[in-house]
Amino acid sequence: MRYYISRIYGTLIGVPAAIVAWVTSLYAFDIAFIYDFGIGIATFFLLYVPTQLLTSKQYLKEIGLTRRDFRFVRHQLSNAQAKIRKLLRAFVNVRSIKDFKQVNEIHRLARTIYFTVKQQPQKFFIVDSFFYSHLDNALNLIESYTRLSRMPGKTKEEKQKLEQTRITLDEVKRTLVADLKRLNEDDYNRLDVEMEMNRIEQKRK
C-alpha cells in the first residue's frame, strides 16, 4: 500500500541527515563516541517521524480515512490473511475433485476480496461483513467438512450432514461473490460513465 511508501520517504531523509549529524559530532565535538552515535540516532528520528507523518497524512486524506480507521483496517487485513492461509491448508484434506473445485473457488474469492481491500483500504467498510463473519463462516465450514469427510465408517445420517454442508458451502460461495460485486460496483459505475463520455465525444467529433 502507498501508506508504507511514507516510511521509505522518512528513511531516505532521516538516514543521510543522521550520518551527517553523526560525522559532524564526531569531528566537531570532543565527546564520547556513544554520544556521537546518540546524536545521529536522535537526528534520524527528528526528521523521519515528521516526514512519515506528513506523507502518510496526505495519502490518508486522499482515501478518506483517519489514521485510527486505517490502523483498524490494517489489523482486520492481518487477521484475514491468517484465515486465508488456513483456507489454503484445507486443500490437504480434500479427497475429491468436486470438493477441491469448491474449496478452490471459495479460496480464490476470499483472496481477491482481501487483496482488493489491501490495495484500496477505504473499501473495507463496503464489505466489512466479509471480515467479520463471511470469511470465518467459510473457514469453519471448510475445516469441519474436509476433516469429517476423511473419517471412515460414516453412517447414513453423517453422510447426509456432509452433503448438506456441501450445499451450505455453495451458499457461502454465492455470498462471497456478492461481496466481490459490491466491492467492484463503484468501479463498474465509473466505467459506465467513462464509456458514455467517450460515446458523446465520438458523436461530437
**Number of helices followed by number of strands (H, E) in the chain:** 7, 0
Residues contacting 93, CB < 8 A, separation 6+: 146, 147, 149, 150
Amino acid identity of residue 168, one-letter, is: T
Distance of alpha carbon 135 from alpha carbon 151, whole angstroms: 25
In tens, the pLDDT along 115-172 reads: 999 989 999 999 999 999 999 999 999 988 888 888 888 888 888 888 898 899 999 9
Residue 36 is predicted with a pLDDT of 60
The pLDDT tens digits along the chain (205 residues) read: 555 555 665 566 656 766 766 566 656 665 665 666 666 677 666 665 666 666 667 777 877 888 889 889 999 999 999 999 998 888 777 878 888 888 899 999 999 999 999 989 999 999 999 999 999 999 999 988 888 888 888 888 888 888 898 899 999 999 999 999 999 887 776 766 677 676 776 677 6
Residues 123 and 183: beta-carbon distance below 8 Å: yes
Residue 31 is predicted with a pLDDT of 63
Angstrom distances, CA of residue 71 to CA of 77, 88, 181, 205: 10, 26, 25, 48
In the chain, what percentage of residues exceed pLDDT 70? 69
Four-point Cα dihedral 172, 173, 174, 179, nearest 10: 90
Beta carbons within 10 angstroms of residue 94's beta carbon: 19
Residue 60 is predicted with a pLDDT of 76
Residue 62 is predicted with a pLDDT of 79
Kindly state the DSSP code that residue 150 receives in the 8-state scheme. Answer: T
Residue 158 is predicted with a pLDDT of 85
Give the number of residues written for the chain.
205
Kindly state the DSSP code that residue 30 receives in the 8-state scheme. Answer: -
Amino acid identity of residue 34, one-letter, is: I
Angstrom distances, CA of residue 93 to CA of 103, 132, 145, 175, 187: 11, 25, 9, 23, 37
